[in-house]
Amino acid sequence: MNFLMAGLVLVGAATAPMTATQDAPLRALVERFEAARTGFDPAALDRTLAPDYEEISPIGDVDMRDKVLGYYAPEARHPAPPMVSTDIFVHAHGPVGIVTARRTISLPNGTTRSVRVRYVARKAQGDWRLVSTQYTPIPPAKAQ
């Protein structure tokens, strides 16, 4: 079974709650990834992403590692609205870690948009690396 398939199987599997100490390395990995994206730091991304990394964008595009690294090159830097993570859930089973978070973007016009982000990580040689990230838009609440 390939790694991503194993990760998907684990998503539905019941896991014991992790302690703050156990989930700290996975939270740190996600924070490092988000800081590298926001800072357009391809060197930090290179240290964070596994060689077989793939990303699924909010519109469903699949981007492989090289394309992601190119997108965050310093010369491609563009202003980005602030994002805040909430509703963070961390699960790990052996060398597979899954972090799910709600990321809310504050737009210049005062509105917000949210995406659910699923980060899948693999631990190899004592080091966690991201193998996949998927962004799923959360529709705005409907007016009553």
Let me know if residue 117 belongs to a domain: yes
Let me know if residue 54 belongs to a domain: yes
Taking the C-alpha atoms of residue 30 and residue 107, their distance in angstroms, rounded to an integer, is: 22
Let me know if residue 11 belongs to a domain: no
Q: How many domains does the chain divide into?
A: 1
The arithmetic mean of pLDDT across residues 114-118, rounded, is: 94
Let me know if residue 71 belongs to a domain: yes
| List of residues 6+ apart from 142 with CB closer than 8 A | none
Let me know if residue 35 belongs to a domain: yes
45 in helix, strand or coil?
A: helix
Let me know if residue 58 belongs to a domain: yes
Q: Which of 111, 90, 107 is nearest to 31 (CA)?
A: 90
Let me know if residue 5 belongs to a domain: no
Question: What does the pLDDT look like over 54-89, one tens digit per residue?
Answer: 999 989 999 999 999 998 888 888 777 778 888 899
Let me know if residue 118 belongs to a domain: yes
pLDDT at 11 over 80: no
Residues spanned by the domain of 125: 17-137
Which CATH number belongs to the domain containing residue 124 in this structure? 3.10.450.50
